[in-house]
């Protein structure tokens, strides 16, 4: 039964990764004496405290859930020992044994959300996929957010952005490229992204277009601090021309933000 339970837990772990939901996996790696579960028992913990499986229940399990939530937040693995001997001294039980629990966080996969699937959106989707990102694509034109147009995407989200965002988990490992065809769409879409957890929201267009977009967003009541969240013109300055070159510029900026780079040249002539 334990093997079947562990298999189910691992299946749920993979499903959480696909859904972009952070989780932690708790595994008993050492058990000695009288304990409720033996080595190899697993439990999956979600960030909101939900669990799948059990490592024994009771106070020990409650402490593991709290420690797992901290593990999810800081991204660090840890081994946590528990004695189950004397509750008077703070032990989480009195079975008589002790266990060590290995906690392993699983962050959501790095994801690129492409909003606007024209020539540049298509190129960004293809390049992001080749770089190992999970790729989500949205366009209000259903035929554009489709496998026929962007075969490399993982998830296709045609339709109005408000409906799409209602079914998405935009997490702190989601990078958004807003590659729409006009200012009016930006005016509609950007306020709906301003409160998301995305660390990067880039917006395509010239400096003149962005000035007009900022003016309209401000008139609509979006605060300056929220407007400052958007990066526009999108990408690093490469003098890029073709959609594929522009995609390189955009993904270079996303990589820079994700990895903490500077975007500067690493060497000059003769170096």
List pLDDT tens digits, range 147-170. Answer: 999 999 999 999 999 899 988 889
Is the pLDDT at 48 greater than 50? The verdict is yes
62 — phi, psi (to 5°)? -60, -40
At residue 269 the predicted structure's pLDDT band, cuts being 50, 70 and 90, is confident
At residue 33 the predicted structure's pLDDT band, cuts being 50, 70 and 90, is confident
Question: Is the pTM above the cut of 0.85?
Answer: no
Please, how many CA atoms are within 13 Å of residue 227, restricted to the half-sphere of its CB? 16
Domains parsed from the chain with CATH numbers? 16-106 (no CATH), 111-259 (3.40.50.720)
178 — phi, psi (to 5°)? -90, 105
What stretch of H or E contains 156? strand 155-158
> What's the mean pLDDT in 258-262?
95
Q: Tokens 């772990």 map to which residue?
A: 13
Is the pLDDT at 259 greater than 90? The verdict is yes
The predicted pLDDT at position 2 comes to 58
- What angle do the packed helices 119-130 and 243-259 form, to 10 degrees? 50
């Amino acid at each position: 039964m334990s093997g079947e339970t562990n298999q189910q837990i691992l299946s749920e772990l993979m499903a959480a990764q696909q859904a972009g939901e952070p989780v932690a996996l708790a595994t008993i790696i050492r058990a000695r004496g009288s304990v409720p579960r033996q080595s190899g028992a697993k439990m999956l913990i979600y960030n909101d405290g939900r669990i799948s499986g059990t490592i024994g229940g009771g106070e020990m399990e409650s402490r593991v859930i709290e420690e797992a939530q901290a593990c999810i937040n800081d991204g660090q693995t840890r081994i946590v020992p528990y004695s189950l001997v004397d509750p008077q001294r703070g032990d989480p039980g009195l079975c008589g044994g002790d266990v060590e629990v290995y906690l392993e966080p699983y962050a959501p996969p790095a994801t690129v959300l492409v909003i606007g699937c024209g020539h540049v959106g298509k190129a960004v989707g293809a390049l992001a996929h080749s770089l190992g990102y999970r790729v989500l694509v949205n366009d209000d034109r259903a035929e554009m957010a489709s496998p026929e147009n962007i075969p490399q995407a993982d998830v296709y989200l045609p339709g109005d952005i408000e409906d799409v965002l209602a079914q998405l988990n935009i997490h702190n490992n989601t990078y958004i490229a807003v590659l729409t065809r006009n200012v009016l769409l930006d005016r509609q879409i950007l306020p709906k992204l301003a409160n998301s957890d995305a660390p990067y929201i880039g917006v395509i267009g010239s400096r003149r277009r962005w000035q007009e977009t900022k003016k309209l967003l401000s008139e609509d009541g979006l605060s300056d601090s929220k407007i400052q969240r958007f990066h526009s013109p999108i990408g690093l300055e490469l003098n890029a021309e073709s959609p594929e070159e522009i995609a390189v510029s955009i993904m270079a900026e996303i990589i820079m933000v994700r990895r903490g780079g500077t975007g500067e040249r690493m060497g000059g002539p003769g170096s």
